[in-house]
Chains A and B, each alone.
Chain A
Amino acid sequence: MKVFFAFFLVMVAAFGGYHLSFRRITGRGKVAWVHLTGLEFLVLGLLLGPGFFNILNESTLRSLEPFSALALGWIGLLAGFQFEAVQIRRFPPAFFAAGLVESGVTTLVSFCCLYPVLPLFVQMPGAMHLVTTLALSAAAGCTAQSVLGLMFLSYAGTGMSALRLLRYIGSLDGLLPMALLVLIFFTRPGPLSINPLDILVLLAAALAVIFMVYMFFLTRRRDTDELALVVIGMTVLTSGAASLIGFSPLLANFFIGICLVNLTREKEKIFQLLVSIEKPVYLVLLIFLGAGWHLPGFSMAVPAVVYWLVRMLGKITGGLAAAGSLPALRGYPRLLGLGLMEQGGLAVAILFDFQQRFAAPEVSYVVGFALTAIVLAQLASPYCVHLLLKRSD
């Protein structure tokens, strides 16, 4: 009964909340920025979690695994769909390089700063310490685009080209963090009995077969009902296969997404399908993550602020490095990183995936403070983008 009730609550909150928070977001002024943080959904998850009502406890979450696997796979597939070669080629190659440089430097700076600092807040064995730092750095490298998207709709100044560049970078800078996530899953300290080489072979074979099955299904034009069934079935299947092998459902679907967007004719229809419930799916992840969240007290606030500052430093350095090293970006503001402060979407999915794979109290604590930092980043990002655009004007 509890599982059903929990499922019901999560779904109503995610879909109802999506309508209330996201669909009516334009015209709400500064309140909109608070809604974009998804803070209310984290708090809802917290209230439903073991600390309060104990509805979303460990066993309930385990029973709801097919739904979390679907949600995680959905976000992964959608992230993969950002990498359509034709779309990427529409922009100058320097833009793509800017995305790689920016996220690479951000990730590197975050890793270098967090690796020595993390033991001050949480004690972990050597391999786990490394893996956790990598996960935090990967999440730091990602940029969400809700604020940029809203600004793009309302802004009419001279910084429009900068805004366009930022959106482009923001849509692509998840590539390196995802590559880093691969490394995390192959470093994988833990009880899994399969060795990394076997995982690699199994994974390659499984993904090849899954992709072939997708291609077979897509050899004919399908109506929306059939396509929805195929995409849902394939996403759950891919996520399940990945978890079984000891790999990441997010990454497995991400790879499939990249292949699909570049090799199938139904890509537009699949993309529309994925986007249609992207926000509610994201909110489901936030609620699930919120269940393991801790109240942001002092022990949580300090590492959260540190993580937030480290990421900010990484983004600013990354932006400077991209703008300084690529001649094609000469006309753009050097503090590009200010426009890339928003962190949500893929970063949240990476943290959720990490928490699922390496379930431990220390990991929950780390994910908890990283979530608090994400909320801070979401709140600060509109002001940072404004600042950047003001400088451009």
Chain B
Amino acid sequence: MSNGFYAKDNYTVYALVLVFLAALALGLKEVDIGTARQEAGWINFALGGTLLAAFVIAKLVCRIGLPMLSGYLFAGILAGPFVSGFLSMESVERFKLIDELALSIIALAAGAELHLGAMKTRARAIISNIVLITVLVFAAVSLFVAASGSLFNVTADFSSSQLAAFAILIGVISVARSPSSTIAVINECRAAGPFTETVLSVTMVTDILIIIMFTIALSMSRHLVFAGSGMQWHAIGALGAEIAVSMAVGVALGKAVSLYIRHIRHDFLIFLIFMAFAVSRASMGFNEFMEEYARVSLHLEPLLICMSAGFFIRNFTPEYSDFLDGLGRVAMPVYVLFFSLAGAALNFHSLLLCWPLALALVLVRAAGLFGGSWVAGKISKIPPSHHYFAWMTYLTQAGVAIGLARLAMREFPEIGIHLNTVVLAVIAVNQVIGPVLFKAALHGVGEVGQSRH
């Protein structure tokens, strides 16, 4: 195109955008904030600026081969409370609404990526990966913490039972992955193929499995920390019911979406956003109601509901193509918002406090992932390149791990506070390096750009 109207990205222009945005932010930061309207103005300015900076940084990091997701995260980290402070922790908390909305949409996309036919043909690889990675990561991390607890200042003062509980809980949390990051990197790379499908299936199934494992771990830790407290097997039964009900609700929701596409069709995008939002909030409302009024511990899992809905539409309805189109159109703004806010919320303060233990855990976890996926690859006889690269796709960690650490903190305040700090620090490292290695792995197995969607 002539007159400076480019058909391709001009990276100098993106760099200039960043410079101008930074100059504007620095200039406006000098303004005294005296009224509520000005305060709201600053939050809006910071949100808009972060969104645009995330988009621009993503374009720039793409140039050097990194995934766009890393760009969104870096922008969030730069704008967040631990670097420039343009987005305060309170502001990040205020945008939780966007966060939950985005997470529901990502879960829908995650479910829709699971193709039953493909899963059946790779059942051996998927099951062996799930079992071996789960066992090896849990064992490696738990044993490492139990054996070296006295060497780190965070765990040095724990009693032996506290250290055992800490090791079990952190072992389980280490198994957790980030389905949202997985989906985002796969979508961005338009990756498809046996390797991608296996990774996706393993990540999604593990996401369900981790909830069950964590409930068992909580029960065991309770037994260790509060001597005399017996194992609460009924909790595991209740959990089974929760998962079954959540999946059933997801299937009903999937059917509703398919009917909407078939009979109404217009404003599907809006419908999708509202539906994601409604699921998220309705589940929370239902959970609170069941706890407070019915005194029944039956919780609905919004992520599981959305994943089941996406899975149902993808595999059991003819409307999946329209559904995937609709998801594709909201994907970009959702990813930019979700991951830039996630970047802003990454806790580097925790990393500073316990970086030796955090870095050691990152390495041990990575070793567990490598060992598990390598052995699983050997057993299921997949191409050698696949089992060399697989571990790199399982590194990312985010929301699920944070949620579990918070639950543990509520249950065991004494060890939980340290657990939460260590988990946040590990996540900060994994979330920065995870997407980069994930993209490299997809390139390594040659599945980038193979998707038709």
Contact = CB atoms under 8 A, between A and B. Distances in A.
A240 B7 contact: no
A217 B41 contact: no
B270 A15 contact: yes
Contacts of A66: 43-44, 47, 95
Contacts of A192: 34-35, 38
Interface stretch (A4-12, A133-141, A334-342): A4-12
Contacts of B6: 219-220
A206 interface: yes
A191 B20 contact: no
Interface string A80-118: 000000000000000000000000000000000000000
Contact of A244 (B9, B20, B45, B273): B45
Interface string B309-351: 0000000000000000000010111001000000000000000
B8 interface: yes
Contacts of B16: 216
Contact of B27 (A69, A190, A205, A246): A205
A220 B5 contact: yes
Given A216-B13, A216-B17, A357-B37, A241 B1 contact: no
B277 interface: yes
Contacts of B7: 220-221
Given A206-B27, A225-B332, A5 B37 contact: no
Interface in A60-81: 62-63, 65-66, 69
A63 B270 CA distance: 21
Residue of B6, B52, B94, B266 most packed against chain A (CB within 10 A): B52
A233 B55 contact: yes
A219 B41 contact: no
Nearest to B328: A225
Interface in B266-280: 266-267, 270, 273-274, 277-278
Contacts of A242: 41
Contacts of A210: 24
A209 interface: yes
B4 interface: yes
B44 A65 contact: yes
Contact of B34 (A1, A191, A224): A191
B209 interface: no
Contact of B333 (A228, A234, A356): A228
A284 B34 CA distance: 27
Interface string B1-44: 10011111110011011001101100110011111111011111
A113 B38 CA distance: 33
Which secondary structure characterizes the binding site on chain A? Answer: helix
A382 B281 CA distance: 42
A146 interface: no
B333 A232 contact: yes
Interface string A221-244: 100111011101111111111111
A149 B49 CA distance: 37
B423 interface: no
Determine which residue in A202, A210, A237, A245 has the highest number of CB atoms from chain B within 10 A of its CB, and name it.
Answer: A237
Contact of B40 (A11, A62, A190, A232): A62
Contacts of A212: 20
Interface in B248-301: 266-267, 270, 273-274, 277-278, 281, 284-285
A229 B33 contact: no
Q: How large is the interface on B (under 10, 10 to 19, 20 to 34, 35 or more residues)?
A: 35 or more
B4 A219 contact: yes
Contacts of A193: 32, 34
A199 to B, nearest CB: 10
A88 B343 CA distance: 46
Interface string A2-22: 011101100110010001000
Contact of B48 (A225, A237, A246): A237
A214 to B, nearest CB: 10
B281 A236 contact: no
A63 to B, nearest CB: 7
Given A193-B34, A219-B10, A221-B7, A239 B44 contact: yes
Given A69-B40, A232-B333, A191 B35 contact: yes
A88 B94 CA distance: 43
Contact of A240 (B13, B42, B332): B42
Contacts of A360: none
A243 B24 contact: no
B172 interface: no
A202 B24 CA distance: 10
A173 to B, nearest CB: 28
Contact of A65 (B8, B43, B97, B333): B43
Given A19-B266, A225-B332, A229-B332, A202 B31 contact: yes
Given A220-B6, A225-B329, A230 B40 contact: no
Nearest to B49: A237
B51 interface: yes
A246 B38 contact: yes
Interface in A253-289: 265
Contacts of A387: none
A206 B37 contact: no
A127 interface: no
B333 A225 contact: yes
Given A194-B32, A233-B52, A8 B278 contact: yes
B41 A220 contact: no
A194 B38 CA distance: 11
Contact of B28 (A15, A228, A234, A241): A241
B191 to A, nearest CB: 19
24 contacts: A1-B284, A5-B281, A8-B277, A62-B40, A65-B40, A65-B44, A206-B27, A213-B17, A213-B20, A216-B16, A219-B10, A229-B55, A229-B332, A233-B55, A234-B48, A236-B47, A237-B44, A240-B40, A240-B41, A240-B42, A241-B45, A243-B40, A246-B35, A357-B37
The 3 residue pairs across chains A and B that have the minimum distance between CB atoms:
A243-B41, A237-B48, A240-B45
